[in-house]
Amino acid sequence: MLNCISFGINSHNASNPIIVPWTFNTESSLRSLTLGQGSNWRRQDIGVEWSTLETFVFVGDEAVGLTFMLEMINLRSALVSFEQSDDSVENPFVRLPTLRNLVIGDDDHPEPIFGICPITSLETPALQCLHIHLEPDSTHLPLLTTMLLRSQCPLVDLVLNDLNASMGNLVELLQVVPSLRTFSFNLVGESVLTDEFVDAMNPPEVQTSTHGRCLPHISKITYTGRISFKPLQIIDMLKSRSGTSLNDQIPADKQLKDFTILCKNPDWASAAKPNIMRRFYQEIWALKSLGTTFDITYEEVVTSESDRES
Indicate if 186 and 240 belong to the same structural domain. no
| Structure confidence at residue 41 (pLDDT) | 46
Are 30 and 176 in a shared domain?
A: yes
User: 18 or 274, which is more confident?
Assistant: 274
Mean pLDDT of the region 116-130: 74
Per-chain mean pLDDT for the chain: 72
> How confident is the model at residue 214, as a pLDDT?
87
* Inside any domain, residue 217: no
Least confident of 7-21, 47-61, 75-89: 75-89
Same domain, 90 and 150: yes
Q: How far apart are CA 47 and CA 30, in angstroms?
A: 12
For residue 18, name the pLDDT band (cuts at 50, 70, 90).
very low
Q: Which of 34, 28, 65, 35 is CA-nearest to residue 50?
A: 28
Is 185 a residue whose pLDDT tops 90? yes
**233 and 169 inside one domain:** no
Dist CA 8 CA 37 (whole Å) = 6
Q: Domain with 154 in it: what CATH number?
A: 3.80.10
Higher-confidence residue of 203 and 38: namely 203
Distances (CA, A) of 139 to 126, 146, 163, 170, 227: 25, 12, 10, 11, 21
CA atoms within 13 A on the CB side of 288: 11
Tell me if 19 is assigned to some domain: no
182 shares a domain with 78: yes
Burial of 165 (0-12, 13-18, 19+ CB in 10 A): buried
Beta bridge partners of residue 187, listed in sequence order:
163
Q: What percent of the chain has pLDDT over 70?
A: 53
Q: How many CA atoms lie within 13 A of 171 on its CB side?
A: 18
Q: What is the distance between the alpha carbons of residues 82 and 101, in angstroms, rounded to a whole number?
A: 15
Quick: pLDDT tens for 42-74. Answer: 444 455 555 555 555 555 443 444 444 554 443
Least confident piece of the model among 38-42, 204-208, 237-241: 38-42
Beta bridge partners of 59: 36
Label residue 141 by pLDDT band (50, 70, 90): confident
As a whole number, mean pLDDT of residues 189-207 equals: 84
Task: Mean pLDDT check: name the lowest of 35-44, 221-230, 264-273, 300-309.
Answer: 35-44
Do 153 and 228 fall into the same domain? Answer: no
Q: Does one domain contain both 132 and 226?
A: no
Q: Is residue 258 part of a domain?
A: yes
Q: Which of 142, 171, 191 is the last residue of a domain?
A: 191
Q: Looking at the structure, do residues 48 and 142 belong to the same domain, yes or no? A: yes
Q: Is the pLDDT of residue 174 over 80?
A: yes
Burial class (CB in 10 A: 0-12, 13-18, 19+), 78: buried
From 191, 211, 236, the end of a domain falls on 191
What pLDDT sits at residue 247? 52
Amino acid at 126: A
CA distance 74 to 78: 9
In DSSP notation, 152-207 reads: T----EEEEEEE---HHHHHHHHHT-TT--EEEEEE-TT--B-HHHHHHTS-GGG-
Tell whether 305 is covered by a domain.
yes
Q: Long-range pairs for 9-17 at CB < 8 Å and ≥24 separation?
A: 9/35, 9/36, 9/37, 9/38, 9/41, 9/45, 10/36, 10/37, 10/38, 11/38, 11/40, 12/38, 12/39, 12/40, 13/40, 14/39, 14/40, 17/41, 17/42, 17/45
* Residue 82 falls inside a structural domain: yes
- 187 burial (CB, 10 Å; 0-12 / 13-18 / 19+) is buried
Does residue 127 have a pLDDT over 50? yes
Domain with 285 in it: 222-310
Is residue 201 in a domain? no
The pTM score is: 0.72
**Banded model confidence at residue 39, pLDDT cuts 50, 70, 90:** very low
Q: Does 162 lie in the same domain as 103?
A: yes
**Do 228 and 268 form a contact (C-beta atoms < 8 A)?**
yes
| Total domain count, the chain | 2
pLDDT of residue 122: 75
Q: Are residues 180 and 232 in the same domain?
A: no
Is residue 197 included in any domain, yes or no?
A: no
Same domain, 100 and 54: yes
* pLDDT: which is higher, 190 or 33: 190
Give 77's pLDDT tier (boundaries 50, 70, 90). Answer: very low
* Domain-located, residue 209: no
Same domain, 48 and 176: yes
Last residue of a domain, one of 140, 168, 191: 191
